[in-house]
With several copies, the nearest count.
Chain A
Amino acid sequence: MNSTGNRPPSLAVSIGGLTLKNPVMPASGTFGYGEEYAPFADLNRLGAVVTKGISLLPRAGNPPPRIMETPAGMLNAVGLQNVGVRAFVAEKLPYLRQHDVPVIVNIFGEAVDEYAAVAEILSRAGGVHALEVNISCPNVKKGGIAFGARPESAAEVTAAVRGNTDLPVIVKLTPNVTDIVEIALAVESAGAHALSLINTLLGMSIDVERRVPHLQNITGGLSGPAVRPVAVRMVWQVAGRVKVPVIGVGGIVDSASALEFLIAGARAVQVGTGQFVNPRMTLDVIEGIEAYLERHGMKDVQDLIGSLQCTSAR
């Protein structure tokens, strides 16, 4: 019961058959495997947990420096360092299983069968509730162009993962494309249960005194509030065209920025870089959304999702 004597608004949403107690989760790669943020944000209070991207074999990642701050954003070139799917199942998953929170495992590969293989192992592991398929990584067989850059390869990966799992499949789109709607529709047709967007924008920054790139990898992925307008635009474009739920990601640093995504049509949101700004950010966002619903007399977050009025901006 809240101060007005009414029941608190319902925050529950459903993504590909999975019910989340609220629409807020961390973004992959910014939350490790769940343990690091536990002292700040009780995992049980989150809508879901999303892990760092997992590949078939362990990967060392890129040499440092791996990150650089940019105006209202940051570049990262971690290089998808991870322990590999077997170590993940053996060493990281048991910790997550102890909690009462859906576990979404982010996966990637350099070839279609690698994606399929990781999906299969995770589906049998127990304690995994959904897969989030990162298609922003380079397709080594096709000259390094990202799977997510072309509708055909994006659909191919989606279908391969779907074929190897009974878990809900969320496909995470890259924003570095001419037409995000085209990719989204291809992935939806290939059987994705949900879409998450956006991954990072490809960027670069230079140490002008030494005339070298700030990142050893030269380019990196841009994230943070700087990219939020691009992310909100893409979520709005895609949510208006697909039937499956969309998860909004990109530059959320407070509940107002999360609300932008929900109003634009996202059914849930992920907080990435925002957690570095404040390790309690996911909880602040949950509380902020609840307060907003109460203030606006809304009983259910569903009333908010996609509620943008576009006829007049005044």
Chain B
Amino acid sequence: MLSNRETAPGHFHMVLGLPVPIADPVPGQFVMVRMPDRLDPLLARPLGIYGFSRQAGEARLELLYRVAGKGTALLSGLSTGRVLQVLGPLGRGFRIVPELRTVILVAGGIGIAPLTFLAEHYRGLPAVVEGREIVCYVGARCSEALVGLERMEALCSRVVVTTDDGTCGACGIVTEPLGLDLPSFRPGATVIYACGPGAMLRCLADMLRESPVPCQVSVEERMACGLGACLGCAVAIRSGENALSYVRVCKEGPVFDIHELDWK
């Protein structure tokens, strides 16, 4: 571990140096992080990739995480030099559509992490289209839970902020300003990417039910293996009338077409 800094109360930015070769991650992919030599917590925790770079042969991985429970609390207490077990990059990331002009990001809380990496990726793409605009809608509980805003602002044409308590940006939930802007998006030239709490994604799914604008969402579920072997991370998808069907967040996801998932 190269650094582990608290950037907002209960939110940490961690940089890891990876000694072994790793494939280039796609935005939206994740890694499984574990503290070695501990049986409690036993399992690795999935964390989205916030940034990735190669410097003089060594790969650097950036994570942005929120202290949610035991595992992340212990992670947050580690200091530079500690060795972590990292498995990845895993899962299917966001599908990149280089020829679109408008990229809309919808981030709830810590959901900003993979979307930042995605924005960076779009910025680094060769200019297939001219004047691509990246617009990000960021929502959080309060101004203190707004993390990674500066970095996102540097990557986007426009960032719209809402907080539940109105301590920063507009007061309300992030889907409100998005809903207002939705009619102005050009269907064939726009894609929405979203990551955030279940309630936000469910609201988004409702809002976009009739919309022709495609939307990819990154969802979360508890994981054990992270590799598709244990079937622990299932989420329901819409299939035939009464047929129930599950897919693995770690393998078929974590990124899905919003209409593919069953939001009930």
Interface residues of A (CB under 8 A from B): 29-32, 36-37, 52, 60-61, 63-69, 71-74, 76, 78, 81, 224-225, 253, 273, 275-279, 314
Contacts and interface: CB of A to CB of B under 8 A. Distances in A.
Interface in B212-264: 221-236, 243-246, 251
Interchain residue pairs A-B with the least CB separation, the first 6:
A32-B229, A67-B232, A36-B229, A36-B227, A72-B39, A276-B224
Contacts of B245: 60
A74 B225 CA distance: 12
Given A73-B42, A76-B224, A279 B231 contact: no
B33 interface: no
Contacts of B235: 64
B87 A61 contact: no
B44 interface: yes
B43 A69 contact: yes
Contacts of B234: 61, 63-64, 66, 78, 81
A66 B232 CA distance: 5
Nearest to B243: A60
Contacts of A65: 221-222
A238 B225 CA distance: 31
A37 B224 CA distance: 13
Give chain B's interface residue range (CB within 8 Å of chain A): 20 to 34
Nearest to A78: B231
10 contacts: A32-B231, A63-B236, A67-B222, A72-B40, A81-B234, A224-B39, A275-B225, A275-B229, A277-B44, A279-B87
Interface of B: 34, 39-44, 85, 87, 198, 221-236, 243-246, 251
A74 B39 contact: no
Contact of A273 (B41, B224, B226, B233): B224
B256 to A, nearest CB: 14
Which of B87, B227, B229 has its CB near the most chain A CB atoms (within 10 A)? B229
Contacts of B232: 66-67, 76, 78
Nearest to A73: B42
A41 to B, nearest CB: 11
B20 to A, nearest CB: 12
B44 A276 contact: yes
A153 to B, nearest CB: 26
Nearest to A71: B39
B43 A61 contact: no
A64 B236 contact: yes
Contacts of B40: 71-72
A253 B243 CA distance: 38
B43 A277 contact: yes
Nearest to A26: B229
Contacts of B42: 69, 72-74, 224-225, 273, 276-277
Contact of B246 (A67, A81, A253): A81
A81 B39 contact: no
Nearest to A253: B39
A194 to B, nearest CB: 24
Contacts of B223: 67
A36 B225 contact: yes
Contacts of B34: 277
Contacts of A69: 41-43, 222
Nearest to A34: B229
A76 B230 contact: yes
B94 to A, nearest CB: 22
